[in-house]
């Protein structure tokens, strides 16, 4: 065991960092984490991020929930390295939660759920809030300065129409060219994965027309959420020297 003084400071998310000298009450999950998991004491150092690249050093003032910290120093967001977005149809069952968690850990910037011809995400209450909590927990785990942005489901054409120009576009397809033949784009790479039932032929045509390249991530058929995470891992592995700023 390392001593408390040597330990890496806790790393948590807050909506807004505030100014040096100000105090902040941490959100509920973050308070719980700092008080119960890290067992913080008054005076302990802690790092905060707003999940949009900003980073602050702080000191614990009140170690019991709601935990209160005093901001010491704030760093603005640095220029962001290469990022990725993922468009994804609905997987089977409750596989969405771990999908979101893994995309967030791997550093994907935007998760855009897609309502596809063969399957839509439905309207489960509280789902986006749950995804946001998972994204925040993954940010703590990975000590990232950027949090996965989770969006509400939209139809495929609307999602594609809203994509930034100039990004590399990829659609997971077992009959595509092997992923190992490609490198992800250094600035922005956008992946698309069909729902459990697959994209229908009209959707596939639309993606091709819009510049999506078919990429095979495995020599077997993957479930929707597996293809999404495998695409994110391929993107993550290929980001040589384009490291996103993070807390060490």
List residues near its own copies by CB under 8 A: 81, 98, 102, 105-107, 141-144, 178-181, 183, 217-223, 226, 229-230, 233-234, 236-241, 243-244, 246
DSSP secondary structure, the chain, as one string: ---TTTSPPEEEE-S----TT-EEEPPHHHHHIIIIIS---TT-EEEEE-SBS-EEEEEEEE-SSSPEEEEEEEEPPPPP--EEEEEE---STTTHHHHHHHHHHHT-SEEEEEE-SS------TTHHHHHHHHHHHHHHHHTBSBPPEE---EEHHHHHHTSPTT-EEEEEEEEEEEGGG----SSEEEEEE--TT---HHHHHHHHHTTPEEEE--SS---HHHHHHHHHHHHHHT-TT-PPPB--
Shortest reach from residue 48's CB to its own copies, in Å? 17
Residue among 63 and 102 whose Cβ is closer to its own copies: 102
Residue among 104 and 156 whose Cβ is closer to its own copies: 104
Residue among 75 and 210 whose Cβ is closer to its own copies: 75
Shortest reach from residue 22's CB to its own copies, in Å? 28
Shortest reach from residue 53's CB to its own copies, in Å? 14
Shortest reach from residue 198's CB to its own copies, in Å? 12
Residue among 63 and 107 whose Cβ is closer to its own copies: 107
Shortest reach from residue 72's CB to its own copies, in Å? 23
Residue among 22 and 92 whose Cβ is closer to its own copies: 92
């Amino acid at each position: 065991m390392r001593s408390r003084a040597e330990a890496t400071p806790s790393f948590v998310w807050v909506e807004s960092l505030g100014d040096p000298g100000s105090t902040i009450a941490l959100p509920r999950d973050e308070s719980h984490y700092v008080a119960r998991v890290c067992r913080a004491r008054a005076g302990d150092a802690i790092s905060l991020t707003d999940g949009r690249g900003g980073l602050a050093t702080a000191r614990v003032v009140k170690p019991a929930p709601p935990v209160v910290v005093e901001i010491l120093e704030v760093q603005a967001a640095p220029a962001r390295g290469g990022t990725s977005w993922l468009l994804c149809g609905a997987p089977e069952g409750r596989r969405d939660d771990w999908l979101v968690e893994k995309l967030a850990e791997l550093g994907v910037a935007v998760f855009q759920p897609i309502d596809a011809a063969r399957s839509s995400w439905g309207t489960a209450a509280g789902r986006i809030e749950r995804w946001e909590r998972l994204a925040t927990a993954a940010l703590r785990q990975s000590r990232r300065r950027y949090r996965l942005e989770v969006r509400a489901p939209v139809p495929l054409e609307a999602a594609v129409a809203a994509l930034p120009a100039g990004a590399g576009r990829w659609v997971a397809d077992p009959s595509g060219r092997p992923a190992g033949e490609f490198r992800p784009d250094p600035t922005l790479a956008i992946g698309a994965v069909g729902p459990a039932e697959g994209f229908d032929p009209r959707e596939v045509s639309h993606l091709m027309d819009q510049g999506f390249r078919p990429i095979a991530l495995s020599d077997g058929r993957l479930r929707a959420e597996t293809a999404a995470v495998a695409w994110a891992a391929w993107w993550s592995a290929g980001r040589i020297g384009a490291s996103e700023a993070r807390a060490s």
